[in-house]
Amino acid sequence: MDADCASLLPGVCAVLAASGRSLPDDTSLEKLLDWFTGLTEAGGSLLEACPCLLGFISTAVLNTALDPGVLSFALRLTGLTAATEDGYEKLQERSVLDQAFQLQRWREAGLWGDPCLRIGWILGLRSMLQHPKALCFFVQSDFIEPLLQLQTDASLFVASAANQMLAHVVLFFQPAPSLGCNGVDQKEAEEHGAAYAAAVAAISEYLKESLVPQKYTALRQSLQTLKLLSLLLAAAGPPLCDRLLQTAGDPLEELVAAGCSQLTLPLMDVLLAACSSGADRRVPDQRAGRLLSSMLDVDKPADLLHAAAAFLRRGHHSDVLNTTRAVRILLLPLHIVTGQTLLGTDATADGRRSSAVEQLKCKTSCISMTCVALTNAPRIALLPCGVLTCPPDSIVTAVLSLLRFCSGVSSSSPPGCSEVCRNVIGSGKVQKCALEALTALDSSPGAKEKTSEVFTVLMQYLENPDSDATVLHKSYQALVKWTSVCTDLSFVTDQLRLDLVELVRKRACDMRWEVRDSTVEFLGHLAGLRVSVATGEEEEEAAAACDALLGARRAAPLLKEALRDTESYVRASAVAALAKSLRHGWQQGAAPSEEEEEIVSRLLEILSQDTEGFPRRAVVQYFTSWFSSCASPTSAPLLMRCARSVLSRGGADLDWEVKVHTLELAQLLLDEAFSGHPGYRRVSDAPHPYAAASGQTRAPRAYPEGAESDLAGAVELGVVAALLSGLVDCDRPVALRACRLLIALRDAVCAPSPGALDATAAVATVSCELPGRGWGEEIRKTLGAKGGEGGGRVSVCKALRSLGLDERLDVLTRSSDHVHNSPLSLLQDILTASAAHTHADTQPGEEVIVDCY
């Protein structure tokens, strides 16, 4: 332990032991525990490292007048200290454990009613239960019964902690197979075994008695018990798993037969956990599998649907029979509502149909059940043919039919189901779920043959004046996704193209900014498909579909107009979309058109004048994307002309993210200029900042010809100025990135020390102009303090050597946390707060401020 911390800790312990109230910063105790936990995990004894803790614990657990928060801390610290056998024995010698965890003391003191104390008691015991001696103490003290009672505590945090604690007791100490005593004394081994057997017996008896609720008020107890059983079965070894299932088998059968809707999902979790293990676990009499099948045959349609969804979610596809049943159950609502033949000739489905129809006649149930079916439809469509009851493309057809019903386009309903179909008309929730399902169904077998029909339905939604903004957004997403899988363009008629263009123009002027934003994003995503062409027939087909639908020529005017939108999100989306739509030309090295030059001019205007940060960030990213996509950036005059303006304006922005994006552009420029130099290392490839010591001596090396011109070019473009400005920026992410880039530049072009290499004489003459105020003044001060230059122009290499970049990187990488977010700072804060409160007792009304670590 640090000597300063060791000297302060006794004083902190004294403050806490004498405190009648919690600290002003109520997270201080939690942070202290974090620190102590870290010391424990690092190895060694906590009491040896912090001997004063023994006195604090002994005093604190006897003082019922302490604040409950401090007492809770003391209980948790007691458990942490007793987590090793050495610490456990030292505490037992002082009878501390009996005093700390004796419930009767806390009840008589009136403190047990505070959930803070109860959670401290539970977590303290859990920390302690890391070795057999602690288990024996736990069992002999009869702590299992109160823990079982705490499972249904009024505090959800306490109840959850009790549940996790019970699972820990059973799972952590379960005997490892074939290890015998493993060097442990035979008598001790027998005691430990007896303690564990007693704990498992008590918990098993509880499971048996509390799984089935005797009355409605006991429902929460059954729920918690099912959660506990699920935790146990998921991690138990074969012998323990068999025992648990034998114990819980009859109550589970009773629960399945009772058909309690509130317990459907936790009951499925238990049964699936019991059936999910490998071959090393034997399920007695296949009871769990039989119960699982029973859950897929309950009478209540809604419960049945949730059970089937839970089964399918867990991926038990090797169980073909139950997987097929789950598929039929989940497709039944779509089968009824849409009239599509999704269940084949299955007779059992007809038996469930009448009850499902009755349930679907209730609007709330209809919407809920339909959404569950839709959510699982994409997963079902990808299942093997052996478990499907219909071709996968029939599911796509059903979803499309449902979308038509929802929008009111289709007026014909399946025979006898008109009342059901009316429930989904105009339902935004069903529309959103159906559109999400349709988007995910694009890759299902046979889906591509439905592309024309999909486009027709999506166009109807996009044209519908009653569609809300979220529905339109999801319609756009689906359209882009299906465009990406187009293989047959014969359906793209001139009329469809004209309709889409007109529709997009109309939506780009919508009164709702969310719709305008979604429309602009759609144009960008569609353009992005065109750019994603690399190799392969499918990518080329997607690009062709994109061009056939809405080429860049039609999108550009709309995006240019969106640059002047009143909403900043729309302006930012327009900038991003323009970058995607023009990237293909950048990749091909095409000369910019007059229209592109006009766009660039507008973007620079946004960067310097827009009052919102989102568009300005997007503008800098636009130029970064242009540079990284360009076949030969230096042969793009417009881009290189703009680079200096972007670096200058972006580096002086008030938004730190704009400045970070500006440094990304600076990095690209550095990579382009210096990638051929032997000493240059891309920042992304740099070693971890802690790997190199500050002031490390670099071996002499030959610098290639042209280093002087490359460095001069970087100065001329404003790269060096942008990096120096970023280095002294008040935002740490900006300064950190700039520092790393400057180190990369220094290592590429500057000798380790002045005059070390004659070959660098020309490079040493390259200078950079510093502004008279702002960052230039900061750099001059630093250089002056280091004995370097301090004038208006400075030698770049001398500046890079004199700025102490390695030391700066070390500090920036650690950030302020190495000073403020430390155990020493925490201990100082607690002592300062205590002194301030003591002083405040004589001067009421003064605020005590604690530096929160």
Look at residue 842 and tell me whether its pLDDT is greater than 50.
no
Q: If 0-12 CB within 10 Å is exposed, 13-18 middle and 19+ buried, where does residue 62 land?
A: middle
Quick check: 787 pLDDT over 60? no
Distance separating alpha carbons of residues 26 and 134, to the nearest angstrom:
30
Please give the single-letter amino acid code of residue 538: E
Asked which of 80-89, 164-173, 824-833 is least confident by mean pLDDT, the reply is: 824-833
| Residue 767 bridge partners (DSSP) | 795
Q: Name residue, tokens 């589970």.
A: 252
As a whole number, mean pLDDT of residues 64-88 equals: 93
User: Which pLDDT does position 26 carry in this prediction?
Assistant: 67
Is the per-residue pLDDT at 343 higher than 60?
A: yes
- In the predicted model, what is the mean pLDDT of residues 490-514? 89
Extract the tokens encoding 690: 């802690």
What six digits make up the tokens of 20? 């009648």
Which segments of 512-593 does DSSP mark as H helices, in order?
A: 513-531, 537-549, 552-562, 568-588
Q: End-to-end distance of the chain based on CA atoms, in angstroms?
A: 19
Contact residues for 189 (Cβ-Cβ < 8 A; gap 6+): 181
133 or 839, greater pLDDT: 133
* Residue 258 structure tokens: 């009772």
Lookup: tokens for 295: 């859950």
Would you give the DSSP letter of residue 591? P
Q: Please answer whether residues 489 and 544 qualify as being in contact, where contact means their C-beta atoms are separated by less than 8 angstroms.
A: yes
CA atoms of 579 and 195, how far apart (whole Å)? 69
Which pairs from 814-820 meet CB under 8 Å and 24+ separation? 815/732, 816/732, 820/851, 820/853
Which residues, in sequence order, are bridge partners of residue 769? 793
Whether 73 contacts 17, CB under 8 Å: no
Percent of the chain, pLDDT > 90?
50
Token pair, residue 235, equals 């991690």
pLDDT, tens digit, for every residue of 531-577? 554 434 455 555 566 666 765 567 888 999 999 999 999 999 999 99
d(CA 689, CA 704): 27
**Which residues in 201-240 belong to E strands, given as ranges?**
none
Q: How far is CA 339 from CA 399, 420, 538, 613, in A?
A: 11, 11, 34, 51
Weakest mean pLDDT among 168-172, 533-537, 709-713: 533-537
What are the residue ranges of helices labelled H in 319-468? 320-338, 347-360, 363-381, 392-407, 418-422, 428-440, 451-463
The DSSP annotation for 56-86 comes to HHHHHTT-TTS-HHHHHHHHHHHHHHTTSHH
| Tens digit of each residue's pLDDT (9 = 90 or more) over 756-777 | 444 457 787 888 989 888 888 9
pLDDT at 840: 52
Count CA atoms closer than 13 A to 832's CA, side-chain side. 14
Residue 657: name the closest of 725, 731, 604 by CA. Answer: 731
pLDDT at 146: 95
- For residue 586, CA distances in Å to 96, 522, 550, 552, 600 come to 74, 21, 19, 13, 14
The predicted pLDDT at position 687 comes to: 41
What does the pLDDT average to over 212-218?
73
Q: What local confidence, expressed as pLDDT, does residue 547 receive?
A: 65
Query: Number of C-alpha atoms within 13 angstroms, CB side, residue 231?
Result: 20
pLDDT score, position 848: 45
Residue type, 57: I
The dihedrals phi and psi of 339, each to the nearest 5 degrees, come to 75, 5
Q: Give 211: exposed, middle or buried? Use CB within 10 Å, 0-12, 13-18, 19+.
A: buried
pLDDT of residue 490: 76
How high is the pLDDT of residue 280? 47
Q: Report how far apart, in Å, the C-alpha atoms of 184 and of each of 188, 192, 199, 649 are.
A: 7, 10, 20, 72
Q: Quote the pLDDT of residue 543.
A: 57
What is the distance between the alpha carbons of residues 564 and 560, in angstroms, rounded to a whole number? 8
- Average pLDDT on 347-351 reads 55
* Residues 6 or more apart in contact with residue 82 via CB below 8 angstroms: 88, 91, 97, 127, 128, 134
Q: Is the pTM of this model over 0.75?
A: yes
C-beta separation of 71 from 60 below 8 A: yes
What's the confidence (pLDDT) of residue 46? 87
CB 352 within 8 A of CB 336: no
How does the average pLDDT of the chain come out, rounded? 84
Q: What is the pLDDT of residue 851?
A: 41
pLDDT of 658 over the 90 cut: yes
Contact 609, 596 (CB under 8 A): no
Cα 728 to the center of its chain, rounded Å: 32
The token pair at 519 is 């429309």
| Per-residue DSSP letter, 785 | H
| Average pLDDT rounded to a whole number, residues 632-641 | 86
Pair 571, 609: CB distance under 8 Å: no
Dig out the tokens for 810 from the structure.
Answer: 């070390």
pLDDT at 413: 64
Cα–Cα distance, 780 to 630 (Å, whole number): 37
Pair 139, 191: CB distance under 8 Å: no
pLDDT at 73 over 90: yes
Alpha-carbon distance of 845 to 359, in angstroms, equals 63
Name which of 36-50, 263-277, 308-322, 692-706 the model is least confident about: 692-706
- Asked whether residue 134 carries a pLDDT value surpassing 60, the answer given is yes
- DSSP letter assigned to residue 768: E
For 274, counting Cβ atoms within 10 Å of its Cβ (0-12 exposed, 13-18 middle, 19+ buried), the class is buried
The percent of residues above 70 in pLDDT, for the chain, comes to 84
CB atoms within 10 A of CB 277: 17
Question: Contact 69/19 with Cβ under 8 angstroms?
Answer: no
Q: What's the rounded mean pLDDT across residues 490-517?
A: 90
pLDDT of residue 544: 60
Rounded CA-CA distance 613/660 in Å is: 13
- Report residue 642's pLDDT band, with 50, 70 and 90 as the boundaries: very high
Residue type for 706, please?
Answer: G
Residue 377 scores a pLDDT above 80: yes
pLDDT of residue 540: 57
Largest CA distance in the chain: 95
Determine the Cα–Cα distance for residues 331 and 389; give it in Å rounded to an integer. 9
Q: How confident is the model at residue 698 (pLDDT cuts 50, 70, 90)?
A: very low
Distances in whole angstroms, Cα of residue 395 to Cα of each of 376, 387, 418, 430, 837: 11, 14, 21, 16, 69
Q: At what angle do helices 613-629 and 656-674 cross, to 10 degrees?
A: 10
CA 593/CA 499 separation, integer angstroms: 28
**Which of 657, 677, 802, 816 shows the shortest CA–CA distance to 737?**
657
Residues in Cβ contact with 429 at an 8 Å cutoff, skipping those fewer than 6 apart: 367, 371
Higher pLDDT, 687 or 18: 18
Tokens standing for residue 664: 């990304």
For residue 736 the two structure tokens come to 């950190």
Q: In this structure, are residues 118 and 155 in contact, taking their beta carbons and an 8 Å threshold?
A: yes
C-alpha–C-alpha distance, residues 653 and 610, integer Å? 11
Distance of CA 332 to the CA centre of its chain: 34
- Identify the pLDDT of residue 416: 61
Q: What residues are paired with 768 via a beta bridge?
A: 794
CA 679 from centre of chain: 38
Task: Give the pLDDT confidence score for residue 225 in this predicted structure.
Answer: 94
State residue 345's pLDDT score: 66
Mean pLDDT of 646-666: 96
CA-nearest of 424, 273, 253 to 336 is: 424
